[in-house]
Amino acid sequence: MSETTQQQAGRLIIVSNRLPVVLERKDGALSTRPGSGGLVTALAPVLRDRGGIWVGWSGLPDSEQGEIDDALKGSSTSAGYELRAVPLTMQELDEYYHGFANEILWPLFHDLQSHCHFDPSYWEAYRGVNRKFAEHIHTAAAEKDFIWIHDYHLLTTATELRDMGVANSLGFFLHIPFPPPDIFFKLPWRFQILSAMLAFDLIGFQTMRDKRNFVQCVRMLLSEIAVRSEGGFHILKSGEREVRAGVFPISIDYAEFEQRAQDKEVAESAWYIHEALPDRQIVLGIDRLDYTKGIPYRLEAFRNALRRHPEMLEKITLVQVVVPSRVDIPKYNDLKIEIEQLVGEINGEFTRSGWVPIHYIFRHLTRGELLGYYRTAEIALITPIKDGMNLVAKEYVACNLESNGVLILSEFAGAVAQLHRDALLVNPYDIEGMSDALYTAFTMTYAERRRRMHRLRATVRRYDIYRWVESFLDAAVSRHLYDFPVISEYIPPSDSPDIGVSI
């Protein structure tokens, strides 16, 4: 963080749906272990240095608050910042989290309105839980603290805070896409959500596309708001209040991934994977079980490539890891059945003695295993139908120490805005196009792979998670207009996507 920012700032209060620790009950007693992930890694040093609090749900519904607070005390001390739990009942969890957040906002913001379940009771619960979060923040915050709220679960928290008289500077970052007006307007509570968002002071999006969609929605739905653009931001003015909207593409701790990829454990795991799958290229897909990740289309594309390019038979294996997620929601279980059926069909059609085309893994990998796959795979096939950013793409690049990998990336992942020059881009609905990209990757020369991967690695190294945190905080606290590299919007080419190999 810049010196000016540090001088002007109070503490930092981070708010997210979940706390960055995992609470577990063993033999009746609660224990905690640190959570993982780039966000915690990047924010922890800032929280420690500057002093701060992380507010979020503990992960255990219907728990006794005193017991949770006691369990969190130890973690707060070892983390060097305070953890404060917002208690949620099972009913709140069902209606606010599974319901409004994951059966309405998640599908709608990923352009899948047909997956939405617009149950009015979900809205009441969402408002109620956002109010509850606001009450806990209100109790925790002092006058000069900067409050940074994360993600779609908490879109209406700022307006609740303002209603309670909280005048602190409030930042918000949306990790998922923001949809265009014709989709956003399907939301029965579109007016309330959009107006509530204007109670923040700074709103960060992953891409220019998301920011543009948001600004268009404001222009069309809230015509009394004056909008101007200045120094990379859109500034939305309502009376005396100004809200700034900017673009801050999230990233990873590049140095940590690169370092960890060299560990003995990872090297061994990579060696075992190659031993088990000798003389062939490994194509890697890693996704949470989610319909936005485009897994069935990807499997169809792999089948199409095997049918059209017999020289790939026995020379390529797709390792598809699906990490269990939201399995209580029926749509997710349907997706699991669909994936497993397709894997069965494809393996049934092509398997030969000694070669199974798809290795399907349905479980959470350890970090060592995950990095082992990143290091080993010659091709990463990342084809979400829509994705805020997609960190798997960046992690693969950081772990590709030999610079021999090819990144095949969806045009609709946020990461495309930064990686489009050197990845092979695909439309995730275009089965033949993805199959062509697979063949292009399969036959790409080492020199070409190296050239592309070098540039990809340089980009991810330069714009890492630390730069992301710093840019957002600098913009929010010192009201710098913009210090993130200006990122152009990715617009698909008018002919077919560039999957050709440049000379």
- For the annotated catalytic residues, the residue numbers are 175, 387
**Tokens representing residue 217 in the block:** 């929605």
Residue with tokens 């000798």: 278
In whole angstroms, what is the distance from residue 379 CA to residue 438 CA?
A: 8
Residues that bind ligand GDG (CB under 6 A): 175-176, 250, 286, 288, 321, 323, 364-365, 367, 370, 387-392, 395
How wide is the angle at C-alpha 210 spanned by C-alphas 103 and 239, nearest 5°?
Answer: 100
Backbone angles phi, psi at 414, to 5 degrees: -55, -30
Q: Tell me how far, at minimum, the Cβ of 180 lies from ligand GDG, in Å.
A: 17
Cβ atoms of residues 141 and 166 within 8 Å: yes
DSSP state of 52: E
Q: How many CB atoms lie within 10 A of CB 101?
A: 21
Of 140 and 261, which CB lies nearer to ligand GDG in the complex structure?
A: 261
Task: Considering the complex, state which of residue 288 and residue 461 has its C-beta at the smaller distance from ligand GDG.
Answer: 288
Cα 349 from chain centre: 35
d(CA 201, CA 178): 18
User: Do the Cβ atoms of 332 and 371 come closer than 8 Å?
Assistant: no
Identify the CA nearest to 11 among candidates 189, 118, 210, 147: 147
Q: Closest Cα to residue 148, out of 408, 471, 391?
A: 471
Both tokens of residue 73? 């005390």
What CA–CA distance (Å, rounded) separates 56 from 58?
6
CB closer to ligand GDG out of 13 and 380: 380
We find the least distance from the C-beta atom of residue 260 to ligand GDG, in angstroms, to be 11
Nearer to ligand GDG, 170 or 389 (CB): 389
Core vs surface per residue 144-154: b (16+ CB within 10 A) or e = ebbbbbbbbbb
| Smallest separation (angstroms) from ligand GDG to the CB of 57 | 17
Give the type of residue at 177: P
* Cβ closest to ligand GDG, residue 112 vs residue 227: 112
Cβ 443 to ligand GDG shortest distance, Å? 27
Question: Residue 105 or 218: which CB sits closer to ligand GDG?
Answer: 105
| Residues contacting 365, CB < 8 A, separation 6+ | 286, 321, 323, 373
Shortest approach of ligand GDG to residue 263 CB, angstroms? 14
CB of 390 to ligand GDG, least distance (A): 5
State the amino acid at position 229 in one-letter form. S
Minimum separation from the CB atom of position 461 to ligand GDG (A)? 17
Closest CA to 284 of 172, 192, 406, 403: 406
Nearer residue to ligand GDG within complex by CB, 151 or 378: 151
